[in-house]
Chain A
Amino acid sequence: MTTYLIRRILYVIPTFLGATFLAFMILQAMPGDFLTQLSLDPKIRPETIEHMRHLFGLDKPVLVQYLIWLKNLFNGDLGYSFMYQQPVLEVILPRIENSLILVGLGVLFLYLIGIPVGIYQAVRPYTLGDYVISFLAYFGIAIPNFFFMLILIFVLVKIKFATGSTPFPIGGMTSQGFEQFSAWKKFLDILWHAALPAFVVVTADMSSLTRVMRGLMLEVLGQDFIRTARAKGLPERVVLYKHALRNAIIPVIATIGGLLPGLIGGAGLVEVVSGWPGMTPLLLDALNRQDLYVNAGIIALSTFLLIIGNIIGDVLLALVDPRIRYG
Chain B
Amino acid sequence: MAEARAEQPMMKSARRLAWEQFKKHRLALIGGGILLVLYFMAAFAGFFSVYDPNFYTLSPSFRYAPPTPIHIRDPETGRLTRPFVYGIKKELDLDTFLEKYTEDRSKKYPIYFFVRTPDQPYTIFKLFKSNIRFIGLGAKATQEGARLYLIGSDNFGRDLWSRLVYGGQVSLTIGILAVLLALVIGLVMGGLSGFYQGTRMRLSLPLLRRESWLVEGGGALRRALKALWVVLISLAWVGLAAGLAYGLWTLIRAAEGLDLGTLLVALLLLFGIAGSLAAAIYYPVRLDPDDMVMRLVEIMAAIPGLFLLITLRSIFPANIDPLMTFYIVVAVLSLIGWGGLARTIRGMVLSLREMDYVTAARAIGVSNWMIILRHILPATASYTIVYASIAIPSFILAESGLSFIGFGITEPYTSWGLLLKAAQDGGFASFADRPWVLAPGVAIFLAVLTWNFVGDGLRDALDPRRRR
Please report A residues at the B interface, Cβ cutoff 8 Å. 14-16, 18-19, 22-23, 26-27, 29-31, 57, 60, 63-64, 67-68, 70-75, 77, 138-139, 141-144, 146-147, 150-151, 153-154, 157-158, 161, 170-171, 261-262, 264-266, 268-269, 272-273, 280, 283-284, 287-288, 295, 298-299, 302-303, 306-307
Contact = CB atoms under 8 A, between A and B. Distances in A.
Residue of A63, A146, A161, A283 with most chain B CB atoms under a 10 A cut-off: A146
A138 B251 contact: no
A287 B298 contact: no
B371 to A, nearest CB: 30
Interface of A is mostly: helix
Given A67-B269, A268-B306, 8 more contacts: A18-B295, A23-B311, A63-B247, A71-B255, A73-B261, A161-B432, A295-B311, A299-B303
A72 B303 contact: no
Nearest to A172: B428
Contact of A138 (B264, B307, B317, B452): B452
Contacts, number: 163
Interface string B395-413: 0010011001101000000
B365 to A, nearest CB: 38
A30 B315 contact: yes
A19 B302 contact: yes
Contact of B302 (A16, A72, A74): A16
B314 interface: yes
B300 interface: yes
B304 A306 contact: yes
Contacts of B407: 284
A269 B401 contact: yes
Interface stretch (B128-136, B186-194, B443-451): B443-451
A71 B261 contact: yes
Given A15-B302, A19-B302, A154-B432, A147 B444 contact: yes
A284 B405 contact: yes
Interface string B426-439: 00110110010010
A144 B401 contact: yes
A64 B250 contact: yes
Contacts of B305: 261-262, 265
Contacts of A15: 295, 298-299, 302
Interface of B: 243, 246-247, 250-251, 254-255, 259-262, 264-265, 269, 295, 298-308, 310-312, 314-315, 317, 393, 397, 400-401, 404-405, 407, 420, 423-424, 428-429, 431-432, 435, 438, 441, 444-445, 448-449, 452-453
Interface of B is mostly: helix
B251 A68 contact: yes
Contact of B311 (A26, A161, A266): A26
Given A15-B299, A15-B302, A70 B265 contact: yes
A275 to B, nearest CB: 8
Nearest to B397: A144
Given A29-B315, A142-B445, A144-B400, A284 B310 contact: yes
24 contacts: A18-B295, A19-B300, A19-B302, A22-B303, A26-B312, A29-B315, A31-B317, A67-B269, A68-B250, A71-B262, A72-B261, A139-B449, A144-B400, A146-B401, A146-B420, A147-B441, A150-B424, A153-B428, A157-B428, A261-B304, A265-B306, A268-B306, A284-B407, A287-B314
Given A67-B269, A171-B428, A307 B302 contact: yes
B424 A273 contact: yes
A158 B452 contact: no
B306 A280 contact: yes
Nearest to B243: A63
A15 B438 CA distance: 41
Contacts of A147: 400, 420, 438, 441, 444-445
Contacts of A74: 260-261, 264-265
A269 B432 contact: no
B307 A283 contact: yes
A7 B362 CA distance: 38
A14 B431 CA distance: 48
Across the A-B interface, give the 8 residue pairs with the lowest CB-CB distance, nearest first. Answer: A265-B306, A74-B261, A147-B441, A142-B449, A75-B261, A265-B304, A71-B261, A18-B299
